[in-house]
Amino acid sequence: MEYIVSQKLFTEARKYIPGGVNSPVRACKSVGCDPVFITKAKGASVFDADGNEYVDFVCSWGPMIMGHAHPDIIEALHGAVVNGTSFGAPTPTEIELAAMVVEAVPSIEKVRFVSSGTEATMSAVRLARGYTGRNVVVKFDGCYHGHADSFLVKAGSGVITLGIPGSPGIPDDIVKNTISIPYNNLEILEKTLRDEELDIACVIIEPVAGNMGCVAPQSGFLEKLRSLTEELGIVLIFDEVITGFRLSYGGAQEYYNIIPDLTCLGKIIGGGLPVGAYGGKAEIMDNIAPDGPVYQAGTLSGNPLAMAAGIAALKLLQRAGFYDELEAKARGFAERLQNVAGASGVPVQLNRVGSLMTSFFTGEQVTDFDSAMKADTDTYAKHYRQMLSKGIYLAPSQFEVAFISAAQSENDLEKALKMTEWSFKNLL
């Protein structure tokens, strides 16, 4: 494959944009190559500026569960855009999408739309602090909740991908109110939450971690987290920006039947347009301005185009059998991928929850941040470059997930398996 045009574009982009990208992980630094510039996408395929076609397992980092440029979403956007693009005023479509979210997500009685997952999580934490009058946020090593100051402590996603401990520019006063503890460690969880020295406002967690690679909650972990936060009056926030409408129509909380106090959403609910949301018990949500004193606002919150795309996307997900079919497809693919890895002799741990999965290049089980960090990122990088050269578009980081979408065909998956088999033969 040639990447001549992408390379020219990357040089040009770096003149105007830091790192040539508008989000760090896209720069492909950790996988030892320059990014390809994508010009269009359709269904399971993305196309780069050199005209190369790829089977897409990034899915825009999660939103494109239906595949790219779905006709229903395109039609919804056409219908909306002719009426204008933004009004800065309440609109009927915000009510429609809000009602769909309230209906779908067990914990959500009221919901506020924002424009990104980061806005959703930072607002939910501010709300939890305002509602409890406490300051400390507990998060988990390797989980990523966006780039708000409070979260860049042992965070996942691009923070571990780039190997940066946190970020300059965040005052110690902020960091001291964030405590990060190991995922799946019940003993440290209980010890931390029961520490009376800490005035803990909330715990925020990815109910299935997707930002240290895919890491599932071990049996009893979420249940213990829920019972402890309930007992201690600590607000439990599920960050379902990835898992919301992904693991089931009601998200991870429906999938595991654990109901948090607040839930953060993003990605899928925008159908590819910029949307985030946070919601939960009315008793808590009614503390948000203008009804309550906790302030949060946004010029483009509830944007009519984003609402139209989100409504169309969720309607597609309501089809009977959708999630069963997605689970069967993902399970079948993962089983075959496991066989390829097993036959290759390459040490791979394949973690999968629903249509999220990660192949960790390590011989040990991956159950938390420390075990994830033992993965061989150089081998992942070589695998990434090999797969790209064969038309398979994976996440440019060992610490992200691959997404199965409704659009990938059996041929697409078969091609990915064949190229994986070829790659594994040429890795070591």
| Residues 45-64, mask of contacts with ligand KE4 (x by CB under 6 A) | ----------------x---
Residue 305 Rama label (left phi>0; alpha psi -120 to 50; beta): alpha
Binding of ligand KE4 at residue 266 (CB under 6 A)? Answer: yes
For residues 23 to 42, the per-residue mask of contacts with ligand KE4, x marking binding by CB under 6 A and - elsewhere, is: x-xx----------------
In whole angstroms, how close is the CB of 330 to ligand KE4 at the nearest point? 18
Name the packing angle between helices 410-425 and 322-344 (round to 10°).
20
* Residue 217 in contact with ligand KE4, rule: CB under 6 A: no
Is 239 considered catalytic here?
Answer: yes
Using the rule CB under 6 A, is 396 a contact of ligand KE4?
Answer: no
- Interface pick for ligand KE4 out of 30, 157, 177, 408 (rule CB under 6 A): 157
Helix (H) or strand (E) holding 82: none
141 is catalytic: no
Active site residue 144: yes
From residue 152, alpha-carbon distances to 28, 130, 144, 183 in Å are 20, 21, 8, 16
Across the chain, which distance is largest between two alpha carbons, in Å? 61
54 bridge partner residues: 46
Catalytic one among 141, 239, 376, 412? 239
- Cβ–Cβ < 8 Å for 49, 39: yes
Other CB atoms within 10 Å distance of the CB of residue 411: 10
| Cα separation, 239 vs 249, whole angstroms | 15
In the complex with ligand KE4, the residue whose CB is nearer, 240 or 412, is 240
Q: Candidates 142, 158, 213, 251: give the one binding ligand KE4 (CB under 6 A).
A: 158
Measured at the CA of 161, the angle between CA 158 and CA 167, to 5 degrees, comes to 55
Residue of 144, 249, 278, 380 marked catalytic? 144
239 binds ligand KE4 per the rule CB under 6 A: yes
Q: Cβ(136)–Cβ(302) under 8 Å?
A: no
Q: Which one of the spans 144-152, 182-190, 223-231, 331-339 is the region binding ligand KE4 (CB under 6 A)?
A: 144-152
Among 63, 117, 251, 279, binds ligand KE4 (CB under 6 A): 117
Active-site residues, by number, are 144, 239, 267
Which residues of this chain interact with ligand KE4, rule CB under 6 A? 23, 25-26, 61, 116-118, 121, 144-146, 157-158, 206, 210-211, 239, 241-242, 266, 276, 400
